[in-house]
Amino acid sequence: MQTWLINIAILIAAFVGMELFSGFFHKYIMHGVLWRIHRTHHVHGKGFFELNDIFSFSFGAIATLLFVLGLPTLDWRFWAGCGIICYGAVYFVVHDVFIHRRIKWIEQSNIPYLQALRRAHKAHHAYIESNPGEEYGLLWIGKKYWKKM
């Protein structure tokens, strides 16, 4: 198999892996032992930044470290870092810009998938305690949010 194909596969695996990891981390860690930090995202405070942003900065630091360590040889670390960085960029645009409108770039969307994402995230934020909850992932959402179309 050609090297470029393996590299793209690593990038895609890292991107998909981040969706799976972040859903697990969100449900069991952020809504568990680290709820005190994540709660700042559910109970909106004042200011642009939330204590919860520490999670994004931490994942960004890990992705940057992988990227930089793999840069000299363009090994798996570089491509995994690229996949995590791509996920972070999608997360920022979908979650922070589109859903929460922390930066007002995107007003509305008629794209059914994006409307379903917004509904799923609103259902997640309906809970202001750590549990119960629903829809802990970002991009993969349940069928019931599509059925409301």
pLDDT tens digits in sequence order for the chain, 149 residues long: 689 999 999 999 999 999 999 999 999 999 999 999 999 888 876 677 899 999 999 999 999 999 999 999 999 999 999 999 999 999 999 998 888 888 888 777 888 898 999 889 988 888 777 776 788 888 998 888 887 65
In a domain, 60, yes or no: yes
Q: Flag whether 115 is in a domain.
A: no
Residue 129 within any structural domain of the chain: no
Residue 130 inside a domain? The answer is: no
Other Cβ atoms within 10 Å of 87 Cβ, number: 23
Q: Is residue 114 part of a domain?
A: no
Tell me, yes or no, whether 88 lies in a domain: yes
- CB 149 within 8 Å of CB 116: yes
Interior/surface letters 124-135, b for 16+ CB within 10 angstroms, e for the rest: bbeeeebeebeb
Domain count, the chain: 1
Count how many Cα atoms sit within 13 Å of the Cα of residue 76 in the half-sphere of its side chain.
5
Q: Domain limits at 48?
A: 3-107
131 assigned to some structural domain: no
145 found inside a domain = no
CA angle 14, 16, 22 (to 5 degrees): 95
